[in-house]
Amino acid sequence: MVTDDGKPGRIRPAPENHLAASPDPVRRGFLRRAVALGGGALAARTAGSVRADDALDKNLPPHVPEWSRTLGAPTLASPYGVPAKYEANVKRRESPGLTRTPQSSVAFTPLQSLFGIITPSGLHFERHHAGMPDVDPHQHRLMVHGLVANPRIYTMDDIVRFPSVSRVHFIECGANTGMEWGNVAVPTVQYSHGMLSCSEWTGVLLSTLLDEVGIDRAKAKYLLAEGADGASLTRTIPLAMALDDVLVCYGQNGEMLRPEQGYPLRLLVPGVQGVSSVKWLRRIEVGDQPWNTREEALHYIDLMPGGKHRQYTWIHEAKSVITAPSGGQVLLDHGYHEITGLAWSGRGKVSRVDVSTDGGRNWRTARLSEPVLTKALTRFRIDWTWNGGPALLQSRVIDETGYVQPTIRQLRAVRGIRSIYHNNAIQTWRVDATGEVSNVQVL
Amino acid sequence: MRASFFLCVSAYLCGLPSFAIAAPLQFGFGKPATTQEIAGWDIDVRPDGTGLPKGRGSVAQGQALYDEKCASCHGTFGESNSYLQIAGGVGSLATDQPVRTTGSKLNFATTLWDYINRAMPFNAPQTLSPDEVYALTAYVLNLNDIVPADAVLDADSLPKLRMPNRNGFTTDHGFMRRDGKPDTRNVLCMKDCVQVVRLSSEMPDYARDQHGNLAEQARVVGTTGTIAAGKATAGSRSGLELAKAVACTACHGVTERLVGPGFREVATRYAGDASAESRLIAKMRAGGAGAWGAVPMPAQPQVKESEARALVQWILAGAK
């Protein structure tokens, strides 16, 4: 095992041993604080461990656990399975005060609690502009028209008949991390980076549909994609992307799309800010110029120093974030800790991720976990021994174009602090001497 | 796969554009979209005015409609920033305090028409007639001093309007193409890359608890625990959670007015009023009208007396 100081890290299995013997001043300090904060405010983990020390020790060796001495629940106890009841903490959340109405709001993915690269469908972040419509798939239609030879209307059955593909891609809202341009503002990675999810999407390539209807290749330059929600949300898609890898999707992680993700049909524009992946897709119009829609002229535009807005900022540049340890967590013990996180690029594959534990002074290259896919989340991992001193954890991605994730200082030098969108700066988490991890910025 | 060919025998009968006649279809799924079907759904309006329907509307007509359908969210003069602020801020974008509004940001008035037509009112989109959309567009532009009070807009005049921020947009950036040029060039230094690491920002104490109890927001199994919420008392958190649970927050913000007043506005009004608690508990459950404007507060019989008391105490304590 490679560690910062070359010494082997102590691996302490979690969670059974955490309180059995507690000589560690860090852990005792943490517990003291948690208890001092009073009654029901105990950390969930701490509470569980306390119970393990007394009331529940009848389930610990040498005793035989009660669940080993009884008959379990039958099959089909839950025909559509749900997570274990102990996992109730792992859910989407809104950021208080961020939006004014729950119909036009955001629910963030709990990245701090997830493994691997696939976001469970029920935890995929939500962003609706006029609420989530209840679309009957039998009455849903996709109209393709404009500069085409054969304007067509498709039922869902029609769409599913076309040759299909399944691809893993991330979706990230253009405003992800948008609250952190000037200073840190939110406590955990769920709120700082949680408008980010990754699924296996199944559908028909948009190029297949465009070939079918016969676009006017001399004139066609852009498409308009329109949703069937109350916002009738519209976005301009450049033809070059449409003919490349844009999907018209009905499948997500093996099942039909979730309603929050556009059931029964959505666009998926890989590597591009999420708003372009129009949900509840009902219409594609082929045209010769951008549409300058409301979501392209009042929102999803990037205010630059000097007062101009960048328009049509589609692509997500490469970005990464450490998800554990991350803000709001506490290192319960000295010794070995795996640092892990996610990296992605709207321009292709992740080539490499480096990790620093000293605020960017020194870097080591992390391991990338297979699969490493284009415009998909990539999981990275690296070993670390925490010896109890303060640390500043950072990750830095390099994508296949050679682009290196920038510092917040570099981004601000070009874009100032008011552009809201496309903040792909290197994230810093501070580990203090007690093991608490918090959100900080370094300049 | 079996290639099939769908040929329209007559463009007239099929209601299709004439150039569709000879194009073969490889799969032939679906059905032709008729001119009439397309017309019903093809509602987008481009900056050059393509897509604008016949119709016309005046500022005065727009004002009447606006007061009826829009002012409750956007404010009487478009000044409310509870939702997107629609008036004011023209010329402020280059300053240190940019005021981002429809009037200060938008480059083409056609986009305003398109959006009102497709998405407003928020609770009943696509219910306005073209005349009404022209009228509301005229009024919103008048609120921004872009058209005079006697203006009448139609498909001819709307695209000709020059918005204050007409030249405020740029596509001179690398985000439109997969091979676009990035803004930054970070270097791949590995050792002794910076001499002094300076912390420029950390979570302020007041912000730390705004997202609730972090200890309840992480997986219970793992090598890390979670930080219990710091300074806020259990009571304050349960106040907002309770307000959400019994749906107060559908109409009330903590600080800002939505349909009804913000909780802190309520606290301010009744500060020092010893009898407020009992009156508000009764009003919360029985409903009331007149204290905060025209919209009545509906009765909330599902809220238990104990819940109402906890909520009112939390609100009057400043909803913190």
- In sign, the C-alpha dihedral spanning A106, A111, A117, A122 is negative
User: A344 forms bridges with which residues in the sheet?
Assistant: A319
Final residue before a domain boundary, out of B107, B137, B160 = B160
Say yes or no for a CB contact (<8 Å) between B41 and A89: no
**In sequence order, what DSSP letters do the residues of A155-186 get, joined into one string?**
-HHHHHHS--EEEEEEEE-TTTTGGGSSS---
CATH number at residue A252: 3.90.420.10
Final residue before a domain boundary, out of A300, A327, A350 = A300
Q: What is the pLDDT of residue A27?
A: 43
Do residues A396 and A404 make contact, with C-beta atoms less than 8 angstroms apart? Answer: yes
Q: What is the pLDDT of residue A56?
A: 63
Q: Quick check: is B189 in a domain? A: no
**In sequence order, what DSSP letters do the residues of B65-116 get, joined into one string?**
HHHHHTHHHH-TTS---SS---S--TT-TTSSS----HHHH-S-HHHHHHHH
Residues 294 to 353 of A: which have CB under 8 A from any B CB?
294, 297-298, 301, 303-304, 306-315, 317, 324-325, 327-333, 337-338, 346-348
Q: Quick check: is A327 in a domain? A: yes
Amino acid at B311: L
Say yes or no for a CB contact (<8 Å) between B211 and A291: no
Q: Does A433 touch chain B (CB under 8 A)?
A: no
With contacts defined as CB-CB under 8 Å, which chain A residues touch B187? 404
Final residue before a domain boundary, out of B120, B143, B160 = B160
CATH number at residue A425: 2.60.40.650
Closest-CA residue of chain B to A356: B190
Per-residue pLDDT tens digits for A152-195: 999 999 999 999 999 999 999 999 999 999 999 999 999 999 99
How many Å apart are CA A252 and CA B52, to the nearest integer?
37
Q: Quick check: is B151 in a domain? A: yes
Q: Quick check: is A11 in a domain? A: no
Quick one: B95 and B154 in the same domain?
A: yes
Do residues A208 and A235 make contact, with C-beta atoms less than 8 angstroms apart? Answer: no
Quick one: B86 and B116 in the same domain?
A: yes
Quick one: B22 and B80 in the same domain?
A: no
Say yes or no for a CB contact (<8 Å) between B169 and A309: yes
Q: What is the pTM of this model?
A: 0.81
Q: Quick check: is A133 in a domain? A: yes
Q: Does A128 touch chain B (CB under 8 A)?
A: no
Q: Does A221 touch chain B (CB under 8 A)?
A: no
Q: Which pair of structure tokens corresponds to residue A327?
A: 């803000």
Nearest CA to A227 out of A217, A219, A237 is that of A237
Quick one: A281 and A167 in the same domain?
A: yes
Query: In which order are the strands placed within the sheet that holds A391-399?
Result: A364-365, A350-356, A391-399, A428-431, A437-442, B199-202
Per-residue pLDDT tens, chain A, 443 aa: give them.
444 444 433 333 334 333 333 334 444 344 434 433 333 333 334 434 444 455 668 999 999 999 999 999 999 999 999 999 999 999 999 998 888 788 889 999 999 999 999 999 999 999 999 999 999 999 999 999 999 999 999 999 999 999 999 999 999 999 999 999 999 999 999 999 999 999 999 999 999 999 999 999 999 999 999 999 999 999 999 999 999 999 999 999 999 999 999 999 999 999 999 999 999 999 999 999 999 999 999 999 999 999 999 999 999 999 999 999 999 999 988 999 999 999 999 999 999 999 999 999 999 999 999 999 999 999 999 999 999 999 999 999 999 999 999 999 999 999 999 999 999 999 999 999 999 999 999 98
Q: What is the pLDDT of residue B277?
A: 83
Structural domain tally of chain B?
3
How many Å apart are CA A133 and CA A232, to the nearest integer?
11
Q: Report which secondary-structure segment, H or E, holds A106.
A: strand A106-107
C-alpha Rg value of chain A to the nearest Å: 24
Q: Where are the beta strands (DSSP E) in chain B?
A: 31-32, 56-58, 152-154, 169-170, 199-202, 224-226
How many Å apart are CA B194 and CA A392, to the nearest integer?
13
Quick one: B36 and B60 in the same domain?
A: no
Q: What is the pLDDT of residue B238?
A: 65
Final residue before a domain boundary, out of B145, B160, B175 = B160
Q: Quick check: is A74 in a domain? A: no
The parent domain of residue B15 ranges over 11-41
Quick one: B242 and B291 in the same domain?
A: yes
CB neighbour class for B148 (10 Å; exposed up to 12, middle 13-18, buried from 19): exposed
Q: What is the pLDDT of residue B275?
A: 82
Structural domain tally of chain A?
3
Mutate to test the interface with A, among B176, B196, B236 (most CBs of A within 10 A): B176
The parent domain of residue A254 ranges over 111-300
Closest-CA residue of chain A to B194: A361
Do residues A317 and A375 make contact, with C-beta atoms less than 8 angstroms apart? Answer: no
Say yes or no for a CB contact (<8 Å) between A293 and B111: yes
Q: What are the Cα distances from residue A130, in Å, to B162, B212, B222?
A: 29, 26, 38
Q: What is the pLDDT of residue B57?
A: 98
Non-local (6+) Cβ contacts of B40 within 8 A are: none
Q: What is the pLDDT of residue A131?
A: 94
Quick one: A274 and A159 in the same domain?
A: yes
**Of residues B94, B188, B198, nearest to A443 (C-beta):** B198
With contacts defined as CB-CB under 8 Å, which chain B residues touch A89? 216-220
Quick one: B75 and B142 in the same domain?
A: yes
Quick one: A217 and A289 in the same domain?
A: yes
Per-residue pLDDT tens digits for A376-403: 999 999 999 999 999 999 999 999 999 9
**Of residues B107, B200, B219, nearest to A297 (C-beta):** B107
Amino acid at A15: P
How many Å apart are CA A242 and CA A245, to the nearest integer?
6
Q: Quick check: is B83 in a domain? A: yes
Quick one: A129 and A54 in the same domain?
A: no
User: β-strands A281-287, A142-146: how paired?
Assistant: parallel
Could you say which residues of chain B have pLDDT below 70?
Answer: 1-23, 223, 228-238
Quick one: B29 and B120 in the same domain?
A: no
CATH number at residue B104: 1.10.760.10
Q: What is the pLDDT of residue B313?
A: 83
Give rounded-to-5 percent helix, strand, coil for chain A: 20, 30, 50
Q: Which pair of structure tokens corresponds to residue B56?
A: 């016309």
Q: Quick check: is A306 in a domain? A: no
